[in-house]
Structures are given as C-alpha cells and as structure tokens.
Structure 1
Amino acid sequence: MEELSAAIGVSRPTLSRYFQDPAKVSRSSIERIRRGLEKVDYTPNFFATRMNRKSTGMIGVIIPYLNDLFFTRLLEAIELAAMEAGYTVITQCSHSDPEIESRAAETFLSMNVDGAIVAPLGNHSDLHIYERLNARLPFVLLDSRPEPLNDVDFVGTDHVQSTGIITEYLCRVGSPPVFLAMPRVNFNALERENAYIARMEEFGFEPVVIGTEAIHPDWHFEAHGLAVLDDQFSRGRLLESSILCANDRVAIGALRAAAKHGLEPGARRKGGLRIAGHDDYPLCPYTTPPLTTVGQNVAMIGQVAVDRLLEKLRAENNAEDQFIKLIDGELKVRESA
C-alpha cells in the first residue's frame, strides 16, 4: 500500500479509504487514483482485501452434480441474486460423494464465508456437517430436505402440490398413471412417490409404483428409466399406459425405451401410451416428442434462498424460528402426454 500510494501520489490512508469505499474520498482524489491505477496496472487481491474485515463478501454454495442442467440453472439463479446484493459466490460440487461434500463444507468454514447454501447430496449425506454449518454461520438448505434437520432453513418445491397437479391432469385426460420411480438416492424421490400415492388414493385409484430399486449402481437417471421400461415393454406391459416419471431425466430414458419399441407417447393413432415427468428440465421442449412435465420455479428458489441468507446475515445469525418456503410447480403440457 505504501509503494502504491507513493507511485500514485496520494497518501496511504486516502488510498485505503478508496479501496474500502470510493465515496469516502474526494472526487479529485478518485480521479487521481484511477489514473494512477491504470498506469501501474494494479489489481487488488480479492482475499487480502477481506482478511481484516468483518465480512468477506463471499457466499459458499455446494451442489451435488455438475452434469445436471437443473443444478446449473439453480446455481445461475443463486449467483445472479448474490451479485445483485454485492456478494461473490464460491461454488463446490460434492460429485455424488458424501466425503467430498463434507470437505467442501469445511473449506467454506476455513475461508470464513459469510454464509452457505447447500443442495444436499441425498440420503448418503452426513447430516452432522449441515448441523455444523448451521451452528457456525448463516445457512440455508435448498431443493431437497433431510427430515431429521428440524432447525435448518429450507427453500424448495412443494412436491405435494407439484406431483399432485400432474397426477390429477393425467387421471383427468386419460388412464390413471403408473409411477416410474427412481432409486431413492435423495429425499425428493420419496416425497414425490408418496405424493403420487396419496393423490391416487384420493381419486379412488390404486397406486402402481415401479422402478424403486437401482438396476445398476453406476447408472444415472436416464439409464434407469430406459432399463425399467425396456423390460416392461419387452414383456408386453404398459404399452398403452400413462406413465408418470419421478423426474425428467428418468422420463428422457423412458422416451428412449418407447422409441426402441416403436411406440409414440401422446400419439393417439398408436394407442394410449403417455409419458410425463417432473422438473421441466431445459431439454424437455426438444425431446421427441416434447415432454409433458411440471416446472420447478428455479429462479424463485435461488432468489428466496439468497434473500433468506441475507436476512440472517443482517441479524448476525441470531436464533430465529425455522424458515421453510415451499414453492408451487407449474404444469407444462406438451405432446408426450
């Protein structure tokens, strides 16, 4: 700072005030400093400038998968909301590994981030790491909620509402749907399955759930949906059924299985097969046929999570009642159902 202030021609305290807040120095000093910084090609060190401040200006975010466009959209929503509030987002991915998820949380603690937002890995996560984060700094969970954590803030989709509206739609315009589940790797999977069962029973129909067990431990959702329906279609089953998939990635695999067997979901000329999903994955309008689904309001989920985190920051993380915000989904009717 002493060398830089001498090179620019202002005092060290003036330069320090400028880096903290340019409004604290005179206009003439601002211009002199700006011209001087251009000449010396100076870039402030992001971490060094925050070491002696109460706030680092950073929010840590952990997501479970990098290859899932849903989480890409969710991260985008969080980053935009954080930038609008003047914060920098530091992102870590747990890569389907609870140990990596735990290390990411410890990394954020060591970096003194102002707060953390975590999309849980699933039922393999170490819940103690969430409790540790919640005890040390402002913390919000989003997308998937572990039931035992009764004092942690959460923002996500209302799966009872979202699964309910698409179950109701499929029952209203065709045969009652079969539910193509996914392996219960996260809390959303079971929530949607239970919501489907409750809605079917409410309408007086018998719930039918298939595909709850993983066929191969390394297969992703698309491969799971393909394998389950390929087996069913090969046996001559469900050829004219309504099939509600636990998420859109499972549904994409289901569409592939239908194509493999010469079936056209939603095309009445070839029977009554219909396939629907949940999430409104960005590729859904471009599948063949375009996929009927329920859209999660990803932008609102990210915004509300950041807003809640900022509320906790302003309150200096004082203990308050648990904050839970469940956001409605929106039915997206397309050709597949």
Structure 2
Amino acid sequence: MATIKDVAKYADVSVATVSRYLNKKGYLSKEAEKAVAGAIKALNYKPNSVARSLYHKNSKMIGLIIPDISNPFFPELARAVEDVALTYGYTVVTCNTDDDVEKEKRYIEALKQKYVDGLILATNELTADDYKSYQLPLVMLDRSIGDEIPSVRSDNYKGAKQATQLLINRGSQFIAHIRGPKRVQTAEDRYYGFKQAVEENNMAHIVIESGFDLESAKQIMQKTLSEYPMIDGIFASSDVMAAGAMKAAKSLSLNIPNDIQLIGFDGIPLGEMLIPSLSTVAQPIYKMGALSARLLIKQIEKQLVERYHYNLETTLLERETLRSEQNE
C-alpha cells in the first residue's frame, strides 16, 4: 500500500507539498498540484483517515446512540439516518446502550476520541447539561430534552389520545394501557394522551408499566387480564408491547377483537405480520430519522438552522385487532 512518502517521491515534491494538497491548505503551484494528483492516481494512494481526523479535528463520522437494537423501531430509524448521512459524505457509527447510563457515557467518550462530528441521541439517560458538556452538535431523536437541544419526534400525546378514543368509539368499556418506563419522555407523552381520552369519556381504565419488550409486556398483561377479566380494550405504548399483549390474550383464550380490542404505537412492519394484523399509531419513522440527520449535518457544517424542534403527525392504521364500525 502506497504511503504519502511514496506519493512525494513519485511526484518529485516534498511530503509537505503532498500534505498541503490533501488537506487543501497552503499555497500549491499548478505544476505541483498536477504532479501530486497524477502520483495519487498512479499509485492508487488512499489517505489515512485517522491521520486526517487528527489534523482537522473531524472525521466525517456521526454517532447514533440507541437504547435497544433488538426493538425493530430503532433499526428503521438507523436506516434513514444512514441513508441521508451517506448522501452528505458522512459515516454513521451506531451504538446500542441497553438503557445503561454508564454504557452510554463510555460510547460517547469513545466517539469523542475518534473526533466524531456530532451525535444523534435516541436515548435520554443523561441530563441536558450532561449532553451539552460534550460540546458536540446534537439532535435528540424520538426524544426531547429541553429547548436548547434540537429534537425530532412524533406527536406522541395526540396519537395516543386518538388511539384511545378509537377504542372507546368501537365499544370498549374497560381499557388497559401498557405504558413504557416512567423515565422515558415518549412513554410519558403517550400515557398523558391515554389519560386525557379516558377521563374525558369517564371510562373505566387501568395503567400498568412494562419495558418496551415483548416478554415483559406479555407477562404483565397475563397477570392483569387474569385479575381484571372485564378488560376489553388495550392501548400499548409500542407495537412490540402490543405483540406481547396479543400473546397474553391468546394464552387466556381471549378472542381478538371480539373479546378484547388492541392498538399499538409505532407502525413497524411487524404489525402487519401478526395474526390478526395489529392496529397501530404509525409514526413517520423514516422521515424522523432522515430529518434528524439533516438537522445534525446543518449544525456540523455551520449552516443556518431554521427550526430546532419537529413534532411530526402520526397516522392511525385500523387493522384486524379492532372491531368493525358497524359494531360501535
């Protein structure tokens, strides 16, 4: 593999001249520029990206911090971030924290040592001050943590309220909400949307907390349905949790949607694969990821950022876990 010294020798110039050419800094005559370009092509020279990062204090890399790679929602976000970043010449490094604050800190420190240009955070284990202390361009994705850090998310409150209202409109009399962990803002927003709908309609309801995973949701829903057999509607804070609730209902020989109706949240492809297919509040997942990447790159490249916070509309997808309208 050719080195910068090989290029300098081939072009009959100094190493410093080749360095100026590569880094686009300092004077370079037309003759020297042509000679170096020819040498690089002839030798198929590839600049050392690590060395260039040290020189420029940047790397054309973006860090994407997510809480759970096994949740299908996050790989969809990551795909959009990567697609957009690549069009602007950036590489995305994805880090999975498993909701572990120490793991998140270690990842961010490691990314900083690699001169990562900015971070997209789909976690909120740390405080806003913690994140700002890293002195990097930041975007919160599917989260919000104060006014000073740009964010991209969907309207979780409104989507949850609409989903709960739809269960009520289709005849549910006692509705359970499987909410996500209280420290997660998206789970909080969905809980408040649910709460607003049931209180406005004076509906019997119960709220239970679960992790954003299938097994936790299944276990707690089995227990809850056994203790409250009158439950005839479930609003789950994610599609994965809704899949767990479906397994719980089926284990108790409950028919969906005749005995119990169900709506999830996210709109991941898994919902259509389930039998019956899952009704859900669909987030514009790809748009969220793409928008967050553009918002971060604008900051990195010191372009004008016209808007710092995005709260995108959701869409109700009515599928087979809801009773038909004529049964309202």
CA contact (8 A) 1:15 1:33 kept: no
Root-mean-square deviation (CA), in Å?
2.9
Correspondence 1:1-337 to 2 at 5 A: 1-6=3-8, 8-9=10-11, 11=13, 15-16=18-19, 19=22, 30=37, 33-37=40-44, 42-53=45-56, 55-122=58-125, 125-133=126-134, 136-146=135-145, 149-176=146-173, 177-202=175-200, 204-206=201-203, 208-212=205-209, 221-235=213-227, 237-238=229-230, 241-266=232-257, 271-315=258-302, 323-337=308-322
The more displaced of 186-195 and 175-184 is 175-184
C-alpha distance in 2, partners of 1:95/1:277?
22
Residues of 2 paired with 1:28 and 1:5: CA distance?
9
Q: Is the 8 A contact 2:128 2:149 kept in 1?
A: no
- In structure 1, C-alpha distance between the alignment counterparts of 2:66 and 2:149, rounded to whole Å: 17
Q: Note the C-alpha offset of 1:27.
A: 8.0
* Paired residue type of 1:234: S
Counterpart AA for 2:131: Y
Q: Structure 1, residues 227-266: CA drift from partner, whole Å, max 9, x if none?
A: 2221233346146x12111111211111101121222212
SS at the partner of 2:152?
Answer: strand
**Kept in 1: contact 2:68–2:96 (CA 8 A):** yes
**Total equivalences in the alignment:** 312
Q: Is the 8 A contact 2:154 2:311 kept in 1?
A: yes
Distance 1:28 1:46, change over 3 A: closer
- Residue 310 of structure 2: SS of its match in structure 1? strand
The answer to whether the 8 Å contact 1:102/1:126 transfers is: no
Aligned to 2:265, the other structure's residue is in SS state coil
Q: TM-score, normalised by structure 2?
A: 0.83
Give 2:253's aligned amino acid.
G
Deviations 1:31-59 (A, max 9, x none): 6632421xxxx543221122212542122
Structure 2 distance, partners of 1:2, 1:190, is 55
8 Å contact from structure 2 (residues 77, 286) kept in 1: yes
Change in 2 beyond 3 A, CA 1:8/1:173: farther
* Percent identical: 25
In the alignment, the residues of structure 1 paired with residue 212 and residue 204 of structure 2 have an alpha-carbon distance, to the nearest angstrom, of: 25
Aligned equivalents of 1:142 and 1:53: distance in 2?
A: 28
What is the alpha-carbon distance in structure 1 between the residues aligned to residue 6 and residue 241 of structure 2?
Answer: 58
